Amino acid sequence: MFVIGIDYGTDSVRSVLVNAANGQEVVSSVFYYPRWKQGLYCNPSESRFRQHPLDYVEGLEATIKDCIAKAGANIASQIKAISVDTTGSTPVAVDENGTPLALKPGFEENPNAMFILWKDHTSIKEAEEINAHAEKFDINYLKYVGGIYSSEWYWAKLLHVLREDANIQKEIYSFIEHCDWIPFLLTGGNSADNIKRSVCAAGHKALYAPEFDGLPPQKFFSQLDPLLDEFVSRLFGTAYTSAEAAGTISPEWAQRLGIPADVKIGVGAFDCHMGAVGGQIEPYYLSKVMGTSTCDMLVAPIDEVENILVRGICGQVNGSIIPGMIGMEAGQSAFGDAYAWFKNLLLWPLKNLKTEQINEEALSEIENQIISELSKQAAKINPEHEAEYAVEWFNGRRTPDANQALTGAFFGLSLGTDAVNIFRAIVESTCFGARTIVERFVQEGIQVKGLIGLGGVAKKSPFIMQMMADVINMPIKIHKSEQTCAIGAAMFAATVAGLYPNVETAMEAMGQGFDAEYFPNPERVAIYNNRYQHYLKIGAFVESNLK
């Protein structure tokens, strides 16, 4: 029996066809979003990042068809289920039929009619208003999202596009997360009222909680802005775990993809949540999905943490990672993005002052070597003598204590500072930011037993992983799979198909284990403890003076 896990990332979508008996990857396929690659509908200077739904639909069809073609008809006939993870919060305005407005005439080129990517920070003002507004109520409606609402999340983004675009106001019926829309699409949904919302997205980003009988009451939103007055009644009062089925694939999509007509489609979730499952998360281990940003996931038994509310994280939700356990999310708004920014900075003269000697092939070769060579040279520097410091808030701060208005900074630069010193300072700052997350969990009464590294950075950079172990003074074990998010989605698919009784059993049977572990260097732990105190002081200065 086989299942498919689909992982929608920031730059591409990957589908993985997996043997459900042992978790072995049979084939995989990647599709890079063509419109996103061209930079369409985005304006980084305004922190506006939008993605066209056609990038998602075309990628869905292309990758699954490619997997089927590679695997063959015999395997294709044995596919039992598909589950999907996506970035988040990445919502879109839809009409009454659940169709994204960007797929309707007149809205094809309107960024406000497209998916608003997780890293879009155009709604900072709206998030600030939500935080101030919440203080007026006796019930703390923000208590399950760390007490601070972020511009990266659902309600801030909805309010922003409603205010900015009268045409959206006229046509919008509902607002749908990417991870909820893809299963709706695959099951042939035709009514926005019938979309099964994932508890992962609803609880961590949209203020859903059983204690509130679903979402906060309509007056919470109508008093915030009358534009929101009708939305609560058109949204949802129930959310589902990803171990449940969204439905069965529609006849149209079964024929389109060349897979059986009885394939089950699972309820979606965010990439980091399914990635934590694919990376075999354990209670009280912080699973760090490290890519363009980081998402730090932790699960704990309900009876052990039900009376603890952790300030300043991205939420704690029953069943958002593993059904029956509390899932907690934190993270950093820029991680790999910080390294990519510096790489692009260094490449500017090569890209803009080309000569015959520097053609596209040579440029690509140089680009592929920059980070690895910087890492080699940075590893030779004794941190005790490093003069430079950085603060890694290049895309704001996600946790602890969300503040997307913050910016990155460098300190201690001199005429002796070179590219290697700056790169090392950036890496160190991302590790220091990771440490603040661990310390916040511990301060709030949640133990952290160790770290699990997942994703591209964890697999490819021993330099960064060793520094993280030294900075946090904890071992970090690296999961063997390169595709933990897609494999996690496959584990949920196997559960939805009934091949396993629960996610934990699927995780045990299909998990690939770990292939590396980094241990703290005692000599460097002391050095980084000292440097970390300076980082905290610099961060406080930036927050107080450079907003």
What global pTM score does this model have? Answer: 0.92
Rounded to an integer, the average pLDDT of 477-481 is: 94
Residue 482 pLDDT:
85
336-352+388-479+515-545 and 2-279 share a CATH fold? yes
> Which pair of structure tokens corresponds to residue 154?
């659902």
- Cα–Cα distance, 15 to 265 (Å, whole number): 14
List of E strands, 25-171: 25-32, 50-51, 79-86, 91-94, 115-116
Q: What is the CATH number of domain 336-352+388-479+515-545?
A: 3.30.420.40
- Cα–Cα distance, 294 to 425 (Å, whole number): 18
> How does residue 363 score in pLDDT terms, banded at 50, 70 and 90?
confident
Residue 79 pLDDT:
98
**pLDDT higher than threshold 80 for residue 269:** yes
Q: Write the pLDDT tens digit of every residue in 152-185.
A: 999 999 999 999 999 999 999 999 999 999 999 9
**pLDDT higher than threshold 80 for residue 356:** no
Domain boundaries, the chain: 2-279, 336-352+388-479+515-545
DSSP 8-state code for residue 216 = P
Rounded to an integer, the average pLDDT of 299-308 is: 94
- Cα–Cα distance, 57 to 204 (Å, whole number): 25
The SS3 assignment for 433 reads: helix
Rounded to an integer, the average pLDDT of 44-66 is: 97
Q: Flag the least confident range among 103-112, 145-154, 348-357, 490-499.
A: 348-357
Instruction: Count CB atoms within 10 A of the CB of residue 251.
Output: 10
Element (H, E) at 265: strand 264-266
Cis amide bond preceding 89, omega within 30: yes
**pLDDT higher than threshold 70 for residue 214:** yes
**pLDDT higher than threshold 80 for residue 405:** yes
> How does residue 490 score in pLDDT terms, banded at 50, 70 and 90?
very high
Residue 189 pLDDT:
97
Residue 385 pLDDT:
87
Q: Which CATH number fits domain 2-279: 3.30.420.40, 3.30.300.250, 3.65.10.10, 3.50.50.60?
A: 3.30.420.40
Rounded to an integer, the average pLDDT of 21-32 is: 97
Q: 400: phi > 0 → left, psi -120 to 50 → alpha, else beta; which?
A: beta
Residue 321 pLDDT:
97
DSSP 8-state code for residue 514 = E
Report how far apart, in Å, the C-alpha atoms of 274 and of each of 189, 202, 344, 362 are: 23, 15, 30, 38
Least Cα distance to 422 among 408, 442, 435, 402 occurs for: 408
Rounded to an integer, the average pLDDT of 315-321 is: 96
Residue 386 pLDDT:
85
Query: Cα(first)–Cα(last) distance of the chain, in Å?
Result: 54
**pLDDT higher than threshold 80 for residue 344:** yes
Cβ neighbors of 168 (< 8 A, separation 6 or more) are: 93, 101, 110, 112, 113, 161, 162
**pLDDT higher than threshold 90 for residue 352:** no
Report whether 315 contacts 203 (CB < 8 A).
yes
Higher pLDDT, 352 or 529: 529
**pLDDT higher than threshold 70 for residue 393:** yes
Tell how many helices (H) and how many strands (E) occur in the chain: 20, 20
Buried (b) or exposed (e) across 49-84, using 16+ Cβ within 10 A?
Answer: bbbbbbbbebbbeebbbbbbeebeeebbeebbbbbb
DSSP 8-state code for residue 333 = S
- What percent of the chain lies above the pLDDT cut of 70? 99
Rounded to 5°, angle at Cα 543 from 386 and 470: 35
- Cα–Cα distance, 441 to 464 (Å, whole number): 22
Q: Write the pLDDT tens digit of every residue in 494-524.
A: 999 999 999 999 999 999 999 999 999 999 9
How many residues in total does the chain contain?
A: 547
Q: Write the pLDDT tens digit of every residue in 68-106.
A: 999 999 999 999 999 999 999 999 999 999 999 999 999
The SS3 assignment for 264 reads: strand
List of E strands, 302-432: 316-318, 325-332, 389-391, 409-411
Strand partners, 14: 7, 30
**pLDDT higher than threshold 90 for residue 428:** yes
Report whether 47 contacts 121 (CB < 8 A).
yes
Q: Mean pLDDT, the chain, as a whole number?
A: 95
Residue 547 pLDDT:
62
